[in-house]
Amino acid sequence: MTTWLYQMSPKYWSPERYRYEIWEGEKWAWSVGSKAMGENVPQAGDTVIFFFAPSGGNDPGFYGWAVVIDWYSDSNTPLMFRPATPSDHLKMHPWWDESAQQLADKIRGKFKQQTLWVVHDDLVDDLRKGITSWVSSNHVKQYKK
C-alpha cells in the first residue's frame, strides 16, 4: 500500500468549495497536474491525503484523506477516490501547526508546486499520527481577524 499527498491550489479550488463539495463516503474522480511519483501510479486501496499549501491562500493544512478506488491513465480525471473518516472533521479544522508544516515540507521536498507526491514510508506513520492527534485533541484553530 502506498500513501499519496494531493496538493490543492486555492487559486483553482478554494477550501470553501472543498468543504462544500467533498463528503466522506462519496466517490470522486479528479485531474492530476504535475506529479512526483516516478514510475508508480495510485492503486486501489492506497491512501491519498489532501493538502492546501500556505502559498496562495489563507487557510492551509491537511484537509482529509481517502481510499483510492482506481487510477485511469487515459482519463482527464485519472484519480478516483472515496473520502474516509475523519475527513469531514478535518475540512472544518484543518491540521496546520508547526509539525504539519514541517511534515508537508519533508513530503514535498524541493519542488512544492506539484499536485501529487508519493509519501515515503518513513513519513507515513508521522502523517497518520499527526492527523489522528489533531482530530482527537480539542484544538480549534484560532483565526486572525
Q: To the nearest whole number, what is the mean pLDDT of the chain?
A: 90
Q: How many domains does the chain have?
A: 1
CA distance 43 to 20: 27
* Domain of residue 76, residue span: 3-133
Q: Is the pLDDT reported for residue 42 higher than 50?
A: yes
Spatial distance between the Cα atoms of 118 and 85, rounded to a whole number of angstroms? 21
Q: Quickly state the pLDDT bin for 94 (edges 50, 70, 90).
A: very high
% pLDDT > 70, the chain: 92
Structural domain includes residue 38: yes
Q: Is 142 within the bounds of a domain?
A: no
pLDDT for residue 50 is more than 90: yes
Give the global pTM. Answer: 0.89
CATH number, residue 90: 3.10.590
In a domain, 94, yes or no: yes
Average pLDDT in the 51-59 region?
Answer: 87
The pLDDT value recorded for residue 9 is 87
More confident of the two residues 55 and 67: 67
With respect to residue 144, please indicate whether it lies within any of the assigned structural domains. no
Output 33 or 140, whichever has higher pLDDT. 33
Rounded average pLDDT over 10-30: 92
Q: Is residue 139 part of a domain?
A: no
Q: Within a domain: residue 143? A: no
* E runs forming strands in the chain: 3-8, 28-30, 35-36, 47-52, 61-71, 79-84, 116-119
In a domain, 118, yes or no: yes
User: By three-state DSSP, how is residue 42 classified?
Assistant: coil
Question: Comparing C-alpha atoms, which of 6, 13, 1 is closest to residue 107?
Answer: 6
